[in-house]
Amino acid sequence: MSWEELLGKMLRIPVKVIRLALYCLLFLSVMEVVVYISGVQSGTVRYKPTWESLDSRPLPDWYDDAKFGIFMHWGVYSVPSYGSEWFWWNWQGQHKVDYEAFMRANYRPGFTYADFGPDFTAEFYKPKHWANVIASSGAKYVVLTSKHHEGYTLWPSKYSWNWNAKDVGSGRDLLGDLARAIRKTDVRFGLYFSLYEWFNPLYLLDKKNRFQTSQYIDLVMTPQLSEIVNNYRPEVIWADGDWEAFSSYWNSTNFLSWLYNDSPVKDTVVTNDRWGKECRCTHGGFYTCDDRYNPGHLVKHKWENCMTIDKLSWGYRRDASLSDYFTIEELIKTLMETVSCGGNLLMNVGPTHDGRIAPIFEERLRDMGKWLSVNGEAVYASRPWVHQNDSVTKDVWYTSKSDATYTYVYATILTWPLGNKLQLGGVRPSDVKGMEMLGYSGKVSWTERVPEGIVVTLPTFSPADAPCQWAWVLKISTPLSRKLRYY
């Protein structure tokens, strides 16, 4: 007796009916899987306002392929342009002596931070030129501060009356003008947004109430987030200023479920991990962990290294000296360390109050672009390799990519080796099926190394034939590897 017959006997139902019921059940569960899969593909999966559900959303592919973005900190702090973008806090929150001395020496008594607002004039601001500089850097996305901790909005927010770019200063929608110019390039447009505001009375009231009230959230933060998403459709929302309260106060999971389910950018938007003091490196989209996070080892969750060309400040400051700016060699090194370990690099420049990108920043950006125009193959849409850096030679960083025939291993050489001999411990001689240098048409030869690896004889070229000036990439063809994702 089959188990269906047994079940039929026990329930006093004909075997046929039992079988029919089983087929129906099977059909229904198959249909559920089909509906689920097509839902995932067409983006109709609904996310719940819980971290478990939100964290399960796959990061849109464009972000991991992009690898390199430009960060811009621009606000009223660009007017004093002294110290850093934390000017207001350092001066009137912390009462730091150098800030108080700077104000005494240069401004009339009684001058307030709000008095800087009218001087945020942006008279030389040419969004088309900015878009050109940004695109020429090779960056695939840009993230502009829509609002920093000072609360001043670069767009005409209804919820920041008389403390926004349209009402005070330039009289322009600075944000909207850049969004339009960027959309004419292949760079994606993103926005930074500070959840908290140092001195907003509604925020300070909620804080005094130990975050048991939500006046600031209801009357300022949530309406502003809706404004920037609905009006400017940013494809990155880079939250910050979250660290004083848990995500439950910021209502982050409710905002994100709307963003992922129903917003105009639901299919392509990416977000970071600064959504509450329990969130960093734990919840949200890509991880930023700390500012300038650059762990030097593979991280198995998509992450981003946000850092600044001016080592000490995100906002423009006039008191920077030449040695405060990273050199192009150091910036390329940071890019390749980051990308080799699975990260994206978000590199910051601070524009001036009158709307310029200072020539030193422009030069760094254009130099990045020159290098990437030769070596971008090792960067864009690459994946981490088995090894992130070489085991024998310092300053060699690996990335990889596959086509139908080969897995290509890219070794970026940051320091040219003595005698043109490059020792690579990470590459097995039996795996090498071909080798070239990106941007150079001559031959590259190699021999086996004892006890392991290979020794590459780098080509000697005259300066005119050099593919680039700052770092060089070997492209090594190896047998197709099935394991393409190491994170």
Q: Which is nearer to ligand NAG, 417 or 439 (CB)?
A: 417
Cα distance between residue 362 and residue 368, in whole Å = 10
Angstrom CA distances, 443 to 47, 160, 193, 475, 478, stand at 53, 62, 50, 12, 17
Q: Is 214 in the site for ligand NAG (CB under 6 A)?
A: yes
**218 counts as binding ligand NAG under rule CB under 6 A:** yes
In the list 394, 403, 451, 463, the residue contacting ligand NAG (rule: CB under 6 A) is 394
**Which stretch, 17-25, 31-39, 162-170, 389-397, contacts ligand NAG (CB under 6 A)?**
389-397
Residues 448-467 that bind ligand NAG (CB under 6 A): none
> With respect to ligand NAG, which residue has the nearer C-beta, 256 or 365?
256
3-state secondary structure of 188: strand
CA 145/CA 225 separation, integer angstroms: 13
Report residue 277 as tokens.
């003091």
Question: At what angle are helices 127-136 and 174-182 packed, to 10 degrees?
Answer: 50
- Determine the Cα–Cα distance for residues 57 and 60; give it in Å rounded to an integer: 9
Assess 254 for contact with ligand NAG (CB under 6 A): yes
* Cβ proximity to ligand NAG, 391 vs 445, nearer residue: 391
**Among 296, 429, 434, 479, contact with ligand NAG (rule: CB under 6 A):** 296
Within 181-311, strands assigned E span: 188-194, 236-240, 270-271, 303-308
* Nearest of 186, 166, 131, 192 to residue 357 by alpha carbon: 131
- Select 78 or 247, whichever has its Cβ closest to ligand NAG: 247
**Region binding ligand NAG by CB under 6 A among candidate stretches 36-44, 210-218, 273-281, 354-362:** 210-218
Q: For ligand NAG, how many residues bind (rule: CB under 6 A)? A: 11
Segment interacting with ligand NAG, rule: CB under 6 A, options 196-204, 214-222, 228-236, 432-440: 214-222
Considering the complex, what minimum distance in angstroms separates the CB of residue 359 from ligand NAG?
A: 33
Q: Using alpha carbons, list the distances in angstroms from residue 135 to 179, 300, 304, 369.
A: 13, 29, 19, 8
Taking CB under 6 A as the rule, which mask of x and - marks residues 400-439 in contact with ligand NAG?
A: ----------------------------------------
Residues in the chain: 487
* Calpha distance 308→143 (Å, rounded): 13
Min dist CB 297 to ligand NAG, Å, is 6
- The residue range among 119-127, 185-193, 268-276, 390-398 that interacts with ligand NAG, by the rule CB under 6 A, is 390-398
Q: Which residue is nearest to ligand NAG (CB)?
A: 296
Nearer to ligand NAG, 122 or 473 (CB): 473
Indicate which single residue of 136, 389, 400, 407 sits in contact with ligand NAG (rule: CB under 6 A): 389
Sign of CA dihedral 229, 303, 345, 441: negative
Using a 10 angstrom Cβ sphere, with 0-12 exposed, 13-18 middle and 19 or more buried, the burial of residue 284 is: buried
Residues found near ligand NAG in the complex (CB under 6 A): 214, 217-218, 251, 254, 296-297, 389-391, 394
